[in-house]
A and B are shown apart, each in its own frame.
Chain A
Amino acid sequence: MRGRLFALAGRLSRAFLPVLAILFAVPMALADGTSPPHGIAPLPNDEPVPHRWLPPGADNPDTGPSDVIFPTQQIPLRFNHAKHLGKDVGAACKTCHPKAYSSERPSDSLVPSGVVCDACHNSDHDDLSHVKPGDDASGQCAFCHLGYKPADGNAVAQLALPRANMVFDHKVHADRNIGCPQCHGAVDKLELATRDQLPRMAGCFSCHEAPDAASRGSAKSACDTCHIRGADGTGIKTLFASGSLSPPRWLHDAEHTPDFIERHKAIAGDNSQFCANCHKEDFCTDCHDGRVRPRSIHPSDYLNMHPVEARMEPQKCQSCHRDQSFCLDCHLRVGVSESSPADARESGRFHPPKAIWSDSPMRPGHHGFEAERNLNACVSCHIERDCVACHGALGVGGGFDPHQNGFVAGCRTQFRRNPRPCFVCHEPTDANVNQCK
């Protein structure tokens, strides 16, 4: 009885196996023919990678890592990380990238050679001029090398993986048990790994927040911890064939926007060392102690229009010019200053007519009001004698009092620390000075 049952099963199986094969194989073949090949993009159909799988620090939406730090790559390969790191293959990162645990420089090649693939794909990459394909489809050259044609022999498209323009020591990070996903994201969920799986600067700062003097091994935040030092004395090198570096918006709000020149004072005033990472003093002093009019600040024909702006925004002038030297020197030479030498060329009266400018009663345009608003403008042309002549206690004006409101309250301290300006206008025996002694 048992023998007949086995015989029946054998006949049925022989009869139905081809049918079963057809039932499964045809749809699979059809499916293979219509679905895109896997492993040529991070996700099938070039779907965007979910933000949670991207390297830490990636923007949302993400625009990839810096083009300057990580120049454009060409990866003419088909590879499925998810499959290799999954249960089917069971590989780990280290299986194919063992050098990532010992590499100390970004110039090290961490991409596995074909020999690593040979173990499973039955190919032979020992001699790259005579690579032998494996027996099955997964061992054929075209299985991994995109665009491969048998007629090309052993010629395959080359990978172009320019070195990263940075300083990086994989070993230091691996030794501290920093896992690959901590910098590269969830590569185990992806097929092909591209530039998008390279680290983002913002992600580095999740650890690199320690000062220089922190214990050795701590993640320091100094720029040259990760950026290449400038050989020309700058803190870091900023100019590369792939472009030039400039700070991101989220770093001290120092994005070099078109109006950065107007707002950089707050950043440089707080942390000039931050600027000095990329700029030498020369860059700054070209404007702040410059001798050539910077076009980015002063437009052409500025000589003729500068009086209006100098009166309106003296605080801006002060950031680069000293009134009693830079401005006064020139104003004395051209004859616009009251103290100009006799033969200095006359430029015509600068101020409004005397009846408005200095006569009583005070009215709009009177120099008293203008001086209150634009004292720097006065100082750019006048020496103190010009003011003391009238405002001095014994001046011809009989001492029109120029002091600000509440002056006496603080004048004792000022007199004690430097009485010189008091004596310019007041005699030492002046009763008014006695109030400040």
Chain B
Amino acid sequence: MRPFLVAGCVAAFAALGAPDARALDAEVTSDTDAQFYDVRSPTGLTVLQRDRLTTTLGVGAYHLLDAPMGDLSAPDLSFRARVRYDADYGAQPGTSDPTNRSLFVPGFQPGVVDLMYAYLEGRRFLKGALGFKLGRQYVTDVLGWWAFDGGEVSVTTPYYFKVEAYGGLEERGGLPLSTPRFESDGVWRGDRGNFDSQLYPSFQPAAIAPAYGVALESAGVTWLHGRLTYRRVYDTGDTGVTEFASGLYGPSVYSGARISSERVGYAVDANLRSLGGVKAGLVYDVYRAQVTSIYGSLDAYLGKKVTVSADYDYYVPSFDADSIWNFFAGEPMNDVGLRANVDFDRHLSIAGSAQLRVFEVQTALFDPFSGAPAAGAYSPYPTGAGGEVFPTNGHPFDEIGNFSARWRDGLTTMLLRGTGSWGDEGDRVGADASLDHVFETRYIANVRTGVWQWQDKLQPDRDATSFDYVLGMGYRFALRSQAMVEWEHDINRLVGQRFRLLAKLAIAVGP
């Protein structure tokens, strides 16, 4: 199918008046990963045997329009697509059989084919002013990663800003050639095509999700960039609405177009070469009427080699508007941190950071209709000031530290990474060291080892220390084509010895 697609596109461009596209570059790429490993429960029992195969096939045709040599303002047209097959041959057959009530997992598919992206992109039309994308594509900005089928048009003005508008259908799991990766969280949804309508009422049917968005973005200036973005997505079709546990009411259905998500965000960064920079972002969830994300970073350049930064990150979980979890009380996270990076020379760099996570304490019990704290009916932790404090296991804040060092020289890279996090939920401390080297530009070798220790504050019997090592080797038979095999051995007291075999084959044919 893919060769026909490419041929069709090339033929279409030719018909549109680019018969002598001398600058055309085309490529075909394929990445295949085979993974074999066990998933074991903390009791040591092997609960899943995973024999996974993931393979992708990508095609690209670039610079489809003929351009005079050296004319960098000439319009440019390209096409790009990637298809993926992701399978788990270790899955039990009953897991994907709706008639097998004892094993069936709604939504699980042992082998999934999805179209990751496939779009035609135009740039610099109308003397550099017009750009467009048609097809399945990603949008990445302060609102996060998102994918949709449709069209996007951007107009770049000479006045240092550009305007972008897009619309189409959000990529939704359960629809053909789609995965749920980029849809809003909080709804268990997928293809119910072969289900009895009475079974698994919690598993919602997938339906098309119309969406549109606009963005206003700065253009041209390199020391300052900002993007204001807005996006609205609709849920459509039927959705199960059931008092699941009471038994007083049967399954019922709500139908109709409704908001899935509606958010506006702004991100900005500015840098002065000899001083430092600032970055900030904010997301406002219009449906929830709440700011769900704020981040900021202030960087100071202390000479040419040292950068020190102060960071702030605020996060509140948010979900699809179909989800009940939007309305559950949540404690926003507030991370404050300091970070530093030192470039000793062109080979060696070291970075480290320390963060403190502060939870914004809401009252734990309250009257949702008056907004006033409830009269402590259930909590034994009154503050005496009319509110309730968030009880802890004696650890009101989370502390997080990171350290990383990298030495590289040509075809050799050494990395050392360490992380420590301590909090009410648990502690985790550990470090990795790795060495990657390419001999004679084609023989690849890597070795990695690590020691990690964790304590689960909710389940103390799950504490463990793990030692691991990875040995890998490969052969690079062209610049972007190589084969690799990696052997991983993990040892901890909970699951004993675990092994993982990973084989990778990457092939690129093209310029």
Contact = CB atoms under 8 A, between A and B. Distances in A.
Interface in A387-431: 387-390, 392-396, 401-411, 413-414, 417-421, 423-425, 427
A251 interface: yes
Given A270-B225, A301-B498, A402-B327, A341 B103 contact: yes
Interface in A241-274: 249-253, 255, 257-259, 262-263, 265-272, 274
B80 interface: yes
B468 A299 contact: yes
B288 A252 contact: no
For the side of the interface on A, what is the size category?
A: 35 or more
Contacts of B43: 347-348
A362 B391 contact: yes
A214 B157 CA distance: 7
A283 B260 CA distance: 29
B25 A231 contact: yes
Contact of A414 (B161, B288, B480, B511): B288
Contacts of A325: 107, 173, 179-181, 188, 190
Contact of A259 (B42, B331, B402): B402
Interface stretch (B1-9, B14-22, B365-373): B365-373
A305 B454 contact: yes
Interface stretch (A17-25, A86-94, A153-161, A314-322): A314-322
Interface string A328-346: 1110111110011111111
B70 interface: yes
> Which of B48, B248, B307 is the most central at the interface, judged by chain A CB atoms within 10 Å of its CB?
B48
Interface in B55-114: 56, 58, 60, 62-63, 70, 72-73, 78, 80, 82, 84, 86, 91, 94-95, 101-105, 107-108
Nearest to B225: A271
A269 B156 contact: no
A306 to B, nearest CB: 10
B152 interface: no
Contact of A407 (B91, B272, B368): B368
> Which of B141, B179, B245, B326 is the most central at the interface, judged by chain A CB atoms within 10 Å of its CB?
B245
B443 interface: no
A302 to B, nearest CB: 9
A401 B41 CA distance: 33
A163 interface: no
Given A250-B271, A352-B458, A375-B325, A364 B368 contact: no
A372 B430 contact: no
Given A305-B466, A403-B328, A252 B271 contact: yes
B242 interface: yes
B477 interface: no
B371 A361 contact: no
A227 to B, nearest CB: 11
B140 interface: yes
24 contacts: A167-B72, A211-B128, A216-B127, A222-B72, A232-B511, A291-B33, A300-B500, A304-B492, A311-B425, A312-B426, A329-B107, A330-B39, A334-B48, A339-B202, A347-B42, A351-B458, A362-B380, A394-B246, A404-B329, A405-B366, A406-B371, A414-B288, A418-B260, A432-B369
